[in-house]
Amino acid sequence: MRRLRGLWAKGPIKGVALLATFFLVVGACSSGDDDSGGITSSVAEERGFTQDQIDAALTTYMPSGEIDPYIMFASGGQGGQVIVIGVPSMRILKVIGVFTPEPWQGWGYGAKGTEEVLAQGQVNGRDVLWADTHHPALSETAGDYDGQYLFINDKANARIAVIDLRDFETKQIIKNPVAIVDHGGTKVTPNTEWVIEGGQYATPHGWEYAPISSYESDYKGMVTFWKFDREAGRIDESSSFAMELPPYWQDLCDAGKLVSEGWVFCGSFNTELATGGIEDGNPPFEAGASARDNDYLHVINLDKAAEVASAGNTFDVNGFPMISLQTSIDEGLLYFVPEPKSPHGSDVAPGGDYIVVSGKLDPHVTIYSFEKMMTAIDTENWTLDQFGVPVLDFDSVMEAQIEVGLGPLHTEFDDQGYAYTSLFLDSAVARWSLGPPYNDAWELIGTVPVHYNIGHLSTAEGDTVSPDGDFLVAMNKWSIDRFFHPGPLLPQNFQLVDISGPGDDMSVLYDMPIGMGEPHYGQIIKADKLSPWDFYPGVGFDPHTMSIDPNAPVAGNERIERNGDQVEIWSTAIRSHFTPEIIEIQAGDHVVWHITNIEQSVDSTHGFTIPGYNINLSLEPGETATIEFEADMDGVFPFYCTEFCSALHLEMMGYFLVKP
């Protein structure tokens, strides 16, 4: 049961002051040991609710008009998008188009800026208009979320996207030049100087062909460090670099912080170098790649690696600088630490002093001390792996191991000195206490069942230097019996868990079916750290350049200009009217059409479609967009506004006439 220790007592944030009062009153009645003293409600009585269910409902309930105190950015999985969710109400606020066209936002349906960003994600010139998005990462300042940017990776094609949280639009997609698949990304360094993209399945550099029989010599692992230019709001490819790694399968990465700032920790598996081929009598991948008792946590000196890269001590892969494995060994950029049995997860504690790793086939979490790692490096307390990389002595760097349950995966933290680890096989979340300086002892505190087969979990600001606690979202892969079955593909289940209480007092508050993609991970930020625009700052604002376009149409300069078969149109949109309304051209003309929504008030969005031409724009107040196409289809095309913007929205249209 909620102890009112946390969120609602922490003081009002925009829009929830009233609510806090409301909860304090209710909470006063419903907390304590006497469960009979709860509020009375005929609905609860009729439906037979227990006091705990009533408490759960009241904790997640946001009265109409109240704003959630937390916002979660969850991956949209195969949808290639980002889902924006209010916490604790778990209401979906938006699905941001990222790697995948998104019609409502006019993302990839004619607006040139959006198509240019999507085209940045091409692989060897081929459009790849979906993604396997895994790990969103909020930008940080001094190790805390700052609410400015969001990054997310596409595992399937090794791509990274940058989303600007002023307008929640994707500004950049980068295709990794050295790898075709990634996984250990995105995570950012504490001041967002670097966006980390770790590899996964080894391939030859630049995914060029080499036979599987030459796996050991020709296949490579990698991690890429993308330099983020906060001023420009873009990754600066020219200052970025990659590191060549052994053909182990690198997994999740996390950035060091505070005492470990400047270091990066990436898990791995398949240090067996299994190459599959059960058809030839070899062990299948799942057996071959989990035969050994240990794989290697990669401990990377990023600060030093950046110096080596900027000194030009690199080789080129597809024009991109890469530090060779030998250079990493010679320069002391890379160390390994044994990590038990099919490791997954690599999570740095709030103080940066400990790194937590799970073993999918080991019931423990293993906690390493950063300080001990540094001592082992200084005293050369290591052996060498087969590629000559120093492997630090396990016993000398391991701080603690805690048996938490079966199938531990990912860990986040709270403000009570507790850590939370997802247990895939047990379908549970384990709460365990960190040892000093966080708590007295390294020990399991308790578990809470979730439904079912949890992957990631996310606590409020739970991977920063100052986690909030309060709430945890369990991202469950299976839902089995939790919802109506909409056919054999079932929704996944986000479950909101109350972690505000002490000891083993944790409870599931709410089930949220996720009807899209397989969202792997999400991050939860305090809503008041975000300051998105209500509308674009100025009429004629181009979200692609994030500036006012001097060529944008504004009220009074609407016109049509013809130059041979080139037709350029400047249009404006305002409730409930497009100017000009009638546009007549010749079939075969090349059309460049600029449109500005000249409104400057909240929520006055207009859409714009030309039927048959696969064009749909979303023009938020102030926004300008340009479409460019060959008018190769003659006929009469009523163009119209696709947002119900006003009483005369249906009349907000015009005729686009293409003369044969």
Cβ of residue 652: shortest distance to ligand CUA, in angstroms? Answer: 4
Q: Pick from 520, 526, 594, 606: which binds ligand CUK (CB under 6 A)? A: 520
Cβ of residue 135: shortest distance to ligand CUK, in angstroms? Answer: 6
- Among ligand CUK, ligand CUA, none, partner that 220 touches (CB below 5 to 8 angstroms by kind): none
What is the amino acid identity at position 160? I
Beta bridge partners of 85: 72, 92
* Residue 145, both tokens: 């979320």
Cβ of residue 641: shortest distance to ligand CUA, in angstroms? Answer: 3
Cβ of residue 554: shortest distance to ligand CUA, in angstroms? Answer: 17
User: Cα(244)–Cα(250) distance, rounded to whole angstroms?
Assistant: 11
* CB 628 within 8 Å of CB 592: yes
Q: Which is nearer to ligand CUK, 252 or 355 (CB)?
A: 252
User: Cα(8)–Cα(14) distance, rounded to whole angstroms?
Assistant: 12
Q: Which is nearer to ligand CUK, 262 or 407 (CB)?
A: 407
- Among ligand CUK, ligand CUA, none, partner that 3 touches (CB below 5 to 8 angstroms by kind): none
Residues of this chain, 387-416, that bind ligand CUK according to CB under 6 A: 409-410
| Contact between 431 and ligand CUK per CB under 6 A | no
Q: Count residues contacting ligand CUK (CB under 6 A)?
A: 11
How far apart, in Å, are the Cα atoms of 324 and each of 245, 308, 314, 472? Answer: 8, 11, 7, 40
What is the amino acid identity at position 313? N
Q: Residues of 603-626 as b/e, b for ≥16 C-beta within 10 angstroms? A: ebbbbbbbeebebbbbbbbbbbbb
Q: Which is nearer to ligand CUA, 286 or 581 (CB)?
A: 581
Q: Pick from 38, 147, 455, 540: which binds ligand CUK (CB under 6 A)? A: 455
User: Cα(30)–Cα(33) distance, rounded to whole angstroms?
Assistant: 9
* CB 121 within 8 Å of CB 159: yes
Q: Pick from 521, 613, 637, 656: which binds ligand CUK (CB under 6 A)? A: 521
- In this structure, the number of other CB atoms found within 10 A of the CB of residue 91 comes to 13
| Contact between 364 and ligand CUK per CB under 6 A | no
Cβ of residue 534: shortest distance to ligand CUA, in angstroms? Answer: 18
Q: Pick from 23, 77, 134, 256: which binds ligand CUK (CB under 6 A)? A: 134
- Among ligand CUK, ligand CUA, none, partner that 365 touches (CB below 5 to 8 angstroms by kind): none
Cβ of residue 346: shortest distance to ligand CUK, in angstroms? Answer: 10
What is the distance in angstroms between the CA of the first residue and the CA of the last residue of the chain?
Answer: 71
Q: Which is nearer to ligand CUA, 428 or 583 (CB)?
A: 583
The distance from CA 492 to its chain's CA centroid, rounded to whole angstroms, is 17
The values of phi and psi at residue 298, to 5°, are -90, 125
Q: Pick from 242, 641, 656, 658: which binds ligand CUA (CB under 6 A)? A: 641
C-alpha gyration radius of the chain: 27
User: Cα(550)–Cα(529) distance, rounded to whole angstroms?
Assistant: 32
The values of phi and psi at residue 31, to 5°, are -85, 175
Q: Where are the beta strands (DSSP E) in 393-538?
A: 398-403, 408-413, 418-423, 428-433, 443-449, 454-460, 469-476, 492-498, 507-514, 522-526
Q: Which is nearer to ligand CUK, 252 or 309 (CB)?
A: 252
Q: Which is nearer to ligand CUA, 94 or 577 (CB)?
A: 577
- Among ligand CUK, ligand CUA, none, partner that 409 touches (CB below 5 to 8 angstroms by kind): ligand CUK
- Among ligand CUA, ligand CUK, none, partner that 98 touches (CB below 5 to 8 angstroms by kind): none
Taking alpha carbons only, the member of 512, 452, 525 closest to residue 89 is: 512
| Contact between 104 and ligand CUA per CB under 6 A | no
Query: How buried is residue 57: exposed, middle or buried, by Cβ count under 10 Å (0-12/13-18/19+)?
Result: middle
- Among ligand CUA, ligand CUK, none, partner that 552 touches (CB below 5 to 8 angstroms by kind): none
- Among ligand CUK, ligand CUA, none, partner that 520 touches (CB below 5 to 8 angstroms by kind): ligand CUK
Cβ of residue 164: shortest distance to ligand CUA, in angstroms? Answer: 25
Q: Which is nearer to ligand CUA, 315 or 644 (CB)?
A: 644
- Among ligand CUK, ligand CUA, none, partner that 652 touches (CB below 5 to 8 angstroms by kind): ligand CUA
Q: Pick from 94, 112, 292, 649: which binds ligand CUA (CB under 6 A)? A: 649
Cβ of residue 521: shortest distance to ligand CUK, in angstroms? Answer: 5
Cβ of residue 619: shortest distance to ligand CUA, in angstroms? Answer: 9
Taking alpha carbons only, the member of 144, 145, 151 closest to residue 233 is: 151
Residues of this chain, 581-640, that bind ligand CUA according to CB under 6 A: 606
User: Cα(247)–Cα(251) distance, rounded to whole angstroms?
Assistant: 12
Cβ of residue 230: shortest distance to ligand CUA, in angstroms? Answer: 35
Run of H or E residues at 251: strand 249-255
What is the binding site for ligand CUA (CB under 6 A)?
576, 606, 641, 643-645, 649, 652
What is the binding site for ligand CUK (CB under 6 A)?
134-135, 183, 252, 344, 409-410, 455-456, 520-521
